[in-house]
Amino acid sequence: MDIEKRVKEAKQGNKEVLVSLIMDKKQEYYSLAYAYMKNQEDAMDAMADMIVILYEGLHQLKKETSFYSWSKTILVNCCKKQLKRKKRLINFNNVEEATSGGLGLVEEQLLLERHLSSLSTDHQEIIKLRYYLDFDYNTIAELLKIPVGTVKSRLSIGLRKLKESYGGDFNEG
Amino acid sequence: MKDNNEIEELLRAKGEKHREIPVPENLETRLHNALEERGVPRKKRQGNRFFKAVAMLLITIIIGYNFNTLAYYGKRIIGYDNIMNTALKELNNLGKGQIIDMSHTFEDGSSVTLDAVMIDENQMLIFYTIKDPKGAAADLNLRADHFVKGLGRRYVAKHGQGEISEDGTEIRWVSSYAPPGFWDRSLSLKFFLQEDGHSEETEMVFKIDREKAMGATLKKSLNIAIKQKETKVQFNTISASPTNTVIEGKLQNTLELLKDHIMGERLRPKAIEFSLIANGEVLRQQAGGMSTNEKGISFRWEFDALPKDLKSLALQIDSVTVDHDVDVSLSIDETTKEKTLEILGQNIVINQLYKEEGATHITISSQEDVLLSRVYLMVDGKRVSLKNTTMEDHIKTESGEIFFTRTLNFPEEGEEYQFIIKSISFMEKYNETIDILID
């Protein structure tokens, strides 16, 4: 069944179809949520928040074909909201270093993560969307609702900052 | 100072892994739960709701009626002989299954019958039949929900097995769900039928007969840990019930992070092969699963039930598959023929490279357990990801070794090629048998 038809059905309140629409692209959604939340539980929580909002707001979506870009923007907003909430709640516990898939991540990439987390959230976000999720400029612009030009400049500044951050660690090579 | 390219390369490598982060198996259930618990139902047309209420009422009446008669007269679950193992058949003969026998017919004439349940310490088995008078039961998108709902709790489906009748009109399913808590007297299970542009669901509510539920036959902690050069296997518990035997444990690598880094290779255990042997015979494996977190990899394997006259019990550990990060780059072209590459003691033969309609194909051979888990091809300086792997074949070499040949397909063509291997996985052999003492 094509997406348009299924989205229409989800609009009618069919929860099964709504969940199946998300599950069809579960890797994309989950990777996106994980980029923000950095752990499995929180990534799933963000997706749970998202699906409730989708269910309640689906009738406002005018173009069925934009379901995926629309819902991903909502997911990003859910992640940001959760992160804000977490910031308020957790301040005694050091947030654990992100692990990709649990074990694969060591040394150099831990270091990368550390440098990355020294950047502002905007710069971290743009770098992750570009490199971790392999989104192009237009997709990022659409997702964050900012102009393509801003995406480009923010990314290049982010990369420069990341390089500067590395500068202190690597003096040779 | 790291230059921009280096940083971008690091970011890309991280990204590649990031986009493959395993999606948790329970994600779908989580989404469903969120909708059930928090989703505020939007206004629906009144007619619809009314119809649903009537339908529900009808079902409940039928249930009540059938429940009493069948529970009394029919004590055995009938029709599942082929998908019941010996232990299940015996339990069934002893009347341990609880007959439910509730049916629902969908608009298109297909139907589902919840035949019976069987509950013990390890699992809740749900027996149900899907019928399609048109003879295409296997193509029907009709399924049981991922969980059985109890009082404030959900019992997730773990695995299942079905049998299609010869004429295709019927499928008999035995699905394993997590066992319900002792406080749950009444459970409900939904079934969904989805067809083009149309979906229907039905919910069946049934009472559990606690007298039929069975406890554990053997439950103990194992505390068995064995090590090889690179990996460590730990068996934590065994829990045997009348319907199956569950073994849980952990996989770890033996090297610490630091040492790991100095050696320039990173490794992570990925899979384990082992058997459970009772009275000298290998028990059939019913299911197996792994989960990963920061601390390591946990596994949970399920086997058939232990024999009643249990005299001996042993674990035979065959091997652990380990994934190694490597950095191998090899210039190849169409003249490359049967070139052998040695990576971490494993031989990989590049048989040939050929181009075809804008794509490049590389045929390689290796021992069966060796897998290039992360590869790509630089085509005229441009990085091309592996599209898929085809043409798999097993060849016996002159020395008697079995080699596994396959072709890696890259969707681009060029003149200069660099074959890049970023990680490789192969087995670490254990071949150890450990006796479990039975008291």
Number of residues that this document lists for chain A:
173
Per the CB < 8 Å rule, is A109 touching B10?
Answer: yes
User: What distance in Å separates residue A88's CA from the closest CA in chain B?
Assistant: 23
Choosing from A96, A116, A145, the residue where a domain stops is: A96
Per the CB < 8 Å rule, is A44 touching B41?
Answer: no
* Chain A hits for B30, Cβ within 8 Å: 44, 47-48
- The verdict on A36 and A109 lying in the same domain is no
Per the CB < 8 Å rule, is A30 touching B13?
Answer: no
Mean pLDDT of A73-81: 91
Q: Is the pLDDT of residue B67 over 50?
A: no
How high is the pLDDT of residue A126?
93
Alpha-carbon distance of A59 to A74, in angstroms, equals: 15
How high is the pLDDT of residue B308?
84
Confirm or reject CATH 2.60.40.1640 for domain B46-212, answering yes or no. yes
How high is the pLDDT of residue B293?
61
Mean pLDDT of A148-160: 91
- The verdict on A76 and A108 lying in the same domain is no
Partner B, chain A 102-121, Cβ-Cβ below 8 Å = 102-109, 112
pLDDT over 70, % of chain A = 80
- The verdict on A71 and A152 lying in the same domain is no
- The verdict on A29 and A87 lying in the same domain is yes
Q: Which of A4-8, A37-41, B129-133, B160-164 has the lowest mean pLDDT?
A: B160-164
Q: Is the pLDDT of residue B69 over 60?
A: no
Closest by Cβ to A163, choosing from B7, B199, B261: B7
* Chain B hits for A19, Cβ within 8 Å: 28, 31-32, 35
pLDDT digits (tens, 9 = 90+) for B109-157: 999 999 999 998 889 999 999 999 988 887 788 888 888 999 888 898 8
| Number of Cβ pairs < 8 A linking chain A and chain B | 151
How high is the pLDDT of residue B386?
84
Partner B, chain A 35-74, Cβ-Cβ below 8 Å = 35, 40, 44, 47-49, 51-52, 55-56, 59
Cα angle value B94/B96/B99 (rounded, 5°): 115
Choosing from A48, A70, A96, the residue where a domain stops is: A96
Q: Is the pLDDT of residue B432 over 80?
A: yes
Q: Does B373 touch chain A (CB under 8 A)?
A: no
Alpha-carbon distance of B419 to A113, in angstroms, equals: 28
- The verdict on A80 and A104 lying in the same domain is no
- The verdict on A86 and A3 lying in the same domain is yes
Q: Which of B39-53, B203-217, B257-271, B419-433 has the lowest mean pLDDT?
A: B39-53
Per the CB < 8 Å rule, is A17 touching B194?
Answer: yes
Which residues, 6+ apart, have CB-to-CB distance to B298 below 8 Å?
B248, B249, B250, B251, B290, B291, B292
Q: Give me the amino acid identity at B429.
A: K
C-alpha torsion sign, points B260, B263, B268, B274? negative
Q: Which residue of A has its CA nearest to B7?
A: A163
- The verdict on A92 and A102 lying in the same domain is no
Mean pLDDT of B50-79: 39
Is the separation of the CB atoms in B114 and B102 below 8 Å? yes
DSSP one-letter string for B227-244: E-SSEEEEEEEEEE-SSE
Give the Cβ contact number of residue B216 at 10 Å. Answer: 14
Residue given tokens 């749900």 in the structure block: B126
Q: Provide Rg for chain A, Cα atoms.
A: 18
For residue B311, count CB atoms less than 10 angstroms from its CB and return exposed for 0-12, middle for 13-18, buried for 19 or more.
exposed
Closest by Cβ to B19, choosing from A31, A44, A167: A31
How many distinct structural domains can be found in chain A? 2
- The verdict on A68 and A134 lying in the same domain is no
CATH for A150: 1.10.10.10
pLDDT digits (tens, 9 = 90+) for B211-256: 888 888 888 888 888 888 778 889 999 999 999 899 999 887 765 4
User: What distance in Å separates residue B2's CA from the closest CA in chain A?
Assistant: 7
- The verdict on A132 and A72 lying in the same domain is no
Q: Which of B37-51, B75-89, B238-252, B405-419 has the lowest mean pLDDT?
A: B37-51
How high is the pLDDT of residue A108?
61
Mean pLDDT of B381-397: 78
Choosing from A96, A125, A151, the residue where a domain stops is: A96
Q: Is this complex's ipTM strictly greater than 0.85? A: no
Alpha-carbon distance of B95 to A160, in angstroms, equals: 72
- The verdict on A154 and A103 lying in the same domain is yes
Is the separation of the CB atoms in B202 and B160 below 8 Å? no
Q: Please give the model's pTM, rounded to 2 decimal places.
A: 0.54
Specify the CATH number of the domain B215-324+430-436: 2.60.40.1640
Q: B430 or A114: which carries more pLDDT confidence?
A: B430
In angstroms, the Cα distances linking B111 to A83, B143, B188 are 46, 11, 17
- The verdict on A78 and A103 lying in the same domain is no
- The verdict on A36 and A82 lying in the same domain is yes
Q: Does B268 touch chain A (CB under 8 A)?
A: yes
Q: Does B42 touch chain A (CB under 8 A)?
A: yes
Residue A173: domain span:
98-173
Q: B67 or A2: which carries more pLDDT confidence?
A: A2
